[in-house]
Structure formats: structure tokens, C-alpha cells
Amino acid sequence: MTETPSPARMHALSDETRATVDVVLDYARRRALYEDVPLDKPLTPRDLARLASGSITPAGIGARRAAALFENVLAPACVSTDHPGYLSFIPSAPTKASIAFDLIVSASAIYGGSWMEGSGAIFAENEVLHWLAGEFGLPAGAGGVFVQGGTIGNLSALVAARDAARRRNREAGHPDPARWVVVCSAEAHSSIASAAEVMDVDIAKAIPDAAGRLHGDAVAAALEVHGDAVFAVVATGGTTNFGIVDDIASIAAVTTERGVWLHIDGAYGLAAMLVDRTRLLFAGVEHADSVIVDPHKWLFAPFDACALLYRDPSIGLRAHTQKAEYLDTLTDAADWNPSDLGVQLTRRARGLPLWYSLATYGTDEYRAAITYGIDLARRIADEIESREGLSLVRDPQLSVVVFRRDGWTLADYQAWSERLLDDQHGFVVPSSHAGEPVLRFAIISPLTTFELLTSILDTLA
């Protein structure tokens, strides 16, 4: 017999509620403590419709059936981004501490948008942001917010940059240009073009050198062409496709001289500043007006977290603080409200899992884990060069290795990639460079081994 609906049933502390929580926590515990994470693979819409339809009903199917459906059908249809063989795009490798604490963040119902409502959580997040700012060489007053991801981080920073340019024009009595322009590398991440589209501004793509690095002279040339219409220059601290770091120092020299906002998109690679021998690659970051780095990439946090830092947070506040009568009690105070620093008002305290993991393990463990990925990339790159029929496209700088199988077409790569996933050996999808199909290993997880990578190379023979 169906139970009569009750307004409080879903929230009441009852035997049913306790059983529901136990079911969820039991699965979460088992998934977090898997010794061998399954790689898994996607199912077709038809297969999922056959296996998983009908879960949303007037009376519900119950906690156990819903959890079983997820564990046995839906979850195996999702590729595990924390699997050591997940080497495509940019993987995820959250620490066990960060995974566990992410449950607490959700269970605690913390609103992370205002100091009034979430001061304890925001203080902890700011501890992490201040540590990162110090590692990047930013001044003591730097600060920011954890946003959803690199796309939102880049968009928020560029919105602040344009707002600052508009204010300068108004103060100087100058008109705004007919079209604002942001300068970036031709190899900049697609999120820069996405942000420009959202903002309805133009992009001027400066040409990097043959190794993929953007230099100050190319930026200066773009500034000569577009003049005062340029409100920001974006340099990349580790491109997604190759892991290449722009010549940030020479770019910073140009932007400083011209008084143009410098933003560093370090979503993937900026974490390598924690390693002494790669730190020099990022010289010039200390001059940036804004930077981003995604902890859900190479800082071993769960999805979804991007640390956005401003050299002068007051500029971000002026650009992003939302005005509304019901928000007056927040905006009239001098408190640190994270929602005033990005394009999102409502936010979860998404920086807390990283805070807990850092507090648990210490920063030395993070440096060691990042160093491991850099070392492994170098080692497997040397192995690729030694194998007949394989060659590097570019020498790796960080932990992305791009290579080719001589004579293969895109269809060959795609067929091989599908077999590799079908065999649950690895997840390596084709990429491309200058119109040529290529393969890439994006190495993040400290559980990815040289032996696993060489076994994948063996399948290319």
C-alpha cells in the first residue's frame, strides 16, 4: 500500500530517513575505498533507456532500489576520471580525504556566498587561497573565490578586467571603444573564446612560437594593432592540449608598460609552480592582475573547483557585487563575501574539500605528487622516442605527452581508442594539432604507473 504523501516526510528524522542515509553512505564508503577503481564505459541512449527508465514515479521507488540502479547501471555507464588509466582530456585524482570531506560539505548545508552565513567555511577557503597566492608570488592583499571551474573563473576575471577598463575611461573622460578586445594565444583554452562570446567582445589571437609558447613581442604586436580597445591579455600557464607554458615574464613586461590587465589561465598547469624545478617556467605570474588554477585537476580535489585570485580583490568586488534590496544587509557590510568576486551568487563552499586535504596531508605531499606526474611524463616521453613507429609531437614541459603513431589516420586512432576502452585497459582518445590527429597522455594521478603507460604503448604496435 502506498504511503500517504506528507510535507515533512522527506525531511523528518525517521527510520526511513536513517535507512536512506545509511544506503547512500554505505555506497559512498565502498566507492571511496575501492582498491581497484573500475574504468567503466558509456552506454548508448537505447541501452540506458532499456535498463534505467522508470525511476521517477509519483510514489518513488525507494532508497535501496534507487541506489542499486545507480550502482549497477548508471555509475558503470560513466568513465571513472580517477582511474589510473584515464589519460584523456585532464583527469581527476581527488585524495581520499577530499572525497570524504565533500560529503560533509553537502551534509552541512553551508551557504558559501556570504561571510554572515558561512564565515567559518569562508575562513578555511581563504586559508587555501592565501597559500596559493603566496606560492604564485602575488602580494599579501591578493584574494579571491572558489568558483565552479576554469570557464567561470576566466569569465569572472575578464568581466572584472573590462569593468576596470571602463571605469578608467570614465574617470579620464575617454569614450569606450566600439568593440572591446581581449588578446590571447592562438593556443589558448577554448574557454577564453567562450567568455568573449558571452561578453560580446572580440578576440585577437597572437601567434605563439613553433613550440607553442606565446611571447611578449607577439602580444606587443597585437596591442599595436588594437590599441586602447584591448582591456586584457590572457597568458596560459600550461595549455590543455600540450601543457606548454607561455613566456609570461616577457608578456608581463609588455602589459605592465602598456597598463593592460594581465590574466593567467593556469587551470591545469599552474599547480606546477609548487615544484622547484618547474617554478621558473612561470616567471612573471607575480605581475598578474588575476589568475586561475583548478584544484579538481592537479591539486587533487573533487569536481568542481577553480581558485580565482585577484591581485586587488576590490576590483573584483566592484565588478561583481550584485545589488538587490534583500541583499542590502550583505552588501552594506565590509565583510568578505565570496559571491561578490565572481559571476555566481549562490555557491557551495567548494574549496573546503581541498582545505581539508591540505590540512590533513600537508603541502609537502602535494609537491611530491605533482613532481611524480612531471617525472613520469618525462620518462614515458623518452620511452616513446625509443620505440619504432612512435614519435613525440612536442617535448613535454609538464605532465602532458603528445605523440603520434606513424602512418595512422584519425580512423585508426579512434578504432584503437575504442578497443582500449572496451578491454578496460585505458581511456585515451585522439586529439589533434595543426590538423594532424595525435594521441596524448595527460598524467595527473600518482597511481598511474610507468608500467601501465608502457602496456598501453604496447597495444600500438
- Residue 192's pLDDT is 98
- Residue 326's pLDDT is 81
Partners of 440 in the beta sheet? Answer: 402
CATH of region 367-458, choose from 3.90.1150.170, 3.40.640.10, 3.40.50.1220, 3.40.50.150: 3.90.1150.170
Find cell 509519483 and name the residue. Answer: 58
- Residue 128's pLDDT is 98
> What's the pLDDT tens digit per position in 135-156?
999 999 999 999 999 999 999 9
Q: Round to whole Å and give the CA distance between 180 and 164.
A: 12
- Residue 290's pLDDT is 98
State yes or no: pLDDT of 332 exceeds 80.
no
State yes or no: pLDDT of 193 exceeds 90.
yes
- Nearest 5°: phi and psi at 368? -65, -40
Mean pLDDT score across all residues of the chain: 96
- Residue 10's pLDDT is 87
- Nearest 5°: phi and psi at 28? -60, -40
Q: Do domains 102-361 and 367-458 have the same CATH topology?
A: no
> What is the β-pairing status of strands 181-185 and 202-206?
parallel
Residue 68 CA, distance from chain mean position: 30
> What's the pLDDT tens digit per position in 396-448?
999 999 999 999 999 999 999 999 999 999 999 999 999 999 999 999 999 99
Q: Round to whole Å and give the CA distance between 436 and 409.
A: 9
Where does 102-361 sit in CATH, by number? 3.40.640.10
User: Confidence band (pLDDT; 50, 70, 90) for 2?
Assistant: low
Query: For the packed helices 363-386 and 450-458, what is the interaxial angle rounded to 10 degrees?
Result: 30
State yes or no: pLDDT of 182 exceeds 90.
yes
Q: Where are the domains of the chain?
A: 1-77, 102-361, 367-458
Number of other CB atoms surrounding residue 210 within 10 Å: 6
**What proportions of the chain, in percent to the nearest 5, are helix, strand and coil?**
50, 15, 40
- Residue 120's pLDDT is 97
Q: Round to whole Å and give the CA distance between 75 and 5.
A: 29
- Residue 1's pLDDT is 44
Are 341 and 320 spatial neighbours (Cβ–Cβ below 8 Å)?
yes
> What's the pLDDT tens digit per position in 261-284?
999 999 999 999 999 999 999 999
- Residue 174's pLDDT is 96
> What is the β-pairing status of strands 230-236 and 181-185?
parallel
Query: For the packed helices 150-172 and 190-199, what is the interaxial angle rounded to 10 degrees?
Result: 50
Amino acid at 148: Q
β-sheet with 202-206: strand ranges across: 143-147, 306-310, 290-293, 261-265, 230-236, 181-185, 202-206
